[in-house]
Structure 1
Amino acid sequence: MFSKKPGPSTKKPTAAPVSNGSTFSVIGADVVIKGDVEARADLHIDGTVRGDISCASLVQGDTSLVEGAITAESARLAGTVQGTITARELIVLKSARIEGDVHYETLTIEQGASVAGRFAPDASETVQAPGPKAEKNSKDEGDEPHLSLAG
């Protein structure tokens, strides 16, 4: 009886607030970077980087190429890397092709991945990604690096 149809809204849309937490940067498949890349945030690479990479967390697409050293707290590699890799937590997917030494604390390698280099379970002493420093874990005697093979 007294119902009214709602009129058009006069409220203007607002932009979503920008998070002060973690951010995510993407290097697209058509991008080629010549020089070092440093990010305080997470980085996803589908393109080519000819230089060293230092970031908090790295995700590499299966068609990407990195010609340089990688330093990250965590890395998930699926493409080609020609250089040394240093990461606390490293996942090497079956499509990955790595030419260089690998330093890690925790390592997972899928069956079919190719690594031409040496493995060294010492990343906890060498990882220094940009941004806030992570607390260094004190190792008790008997603590050993973890290696798992994914099937």
Structure 2
Amino acid sequence: MASNGTFSVIGTDVTITGNVAATTELHVDGKIHGDIECASLVQGESSMIEGAVKAESARLAGTVKGSIAARELVVLRTARIEGDVHYDSITIEQGAEVDGRFSHRVPGRSEAMPSPMSGAASDMASELEPKLTLAS
């Protein structure tokens, strides 16, 4: 996904029913009833997303009811998430609410549940330990 410096805004007065795709940054202040796929997502505090979110980077401040897959994820204190979260790196502010499972994505590995590891595989896994940052 190439970015040419532009972004799209879905205002507070807008409700979209259906999937949304953007090749640049998407700023959502309204309501979306459908899946979102974009390069970068910025979600406003009063916004609601009911569907899956897939983005390279996401900064969530509103409500998401659905799974989230992002390389870089920031969950702000006002965020309310109901769904599983798949990430490469994550920052969660104190006060954010997440009702779902967290799953660290390892490059080159499928999204399926990992098999039990032993020996050299477990040594390699410790180097790929999930990075979790709690912000205050």
- TM-score normalised to structure 1 length: 0.75
Q: Deviations over 1:89-115 (max 9, x none)?
A: 000000000000000010100000000
Question: Could you tell me how far apart the structure 2 residues matched to 1:150 and 1:126 are?
Answer: 29
Provide the secondary structure at the position in 1 that maps to 2:70: strand
What is aligned with 2:130?
A: 145
Secondary structure in structure 1 of the residue aligned to 2:23: coil
- Say if 2:34 is the partner of 1:51: yes
Deviations 1:28-82 (A, max 9, x none): 0000000000000000000000000000000000000000000000000000000
Alpha-carbon spacing, 1:107–1:143, altered in 2? closer, same or farther (3 Å): same
Structure 2, gaps ≥5 residues long: 112-123
Unpaired stretches in structure 1, ≥5 consecutive residues: 1-19, 128-140
RMSD over aligned CA atoms reads 1.9
Question: Once the two structures are superposed, what CA deviation does each residue of 1:6-44 show, in whole Å capped at 9, x if it has no partner?
Answer: xxxxxxxxxxxxxx8231000000000000000000000
Q: Which runs of 4+ in 1 moved over 2 A?
A: 123-127
Total equivalences in the alignment: 120
* Cα drift, residue 126 of structure 1: 7.0
The answer for the alignment partner of 2:5 in structure 1 is: 22
Question: Residue 35 of structure 1: which of 18, 21, 35 is its match?
Answer: 18
Larger CA Rg, structure 1 vs 2: 1
Identity across the alignment (%): 61
Quote the offset at 1:123 in angstroms: 6.7
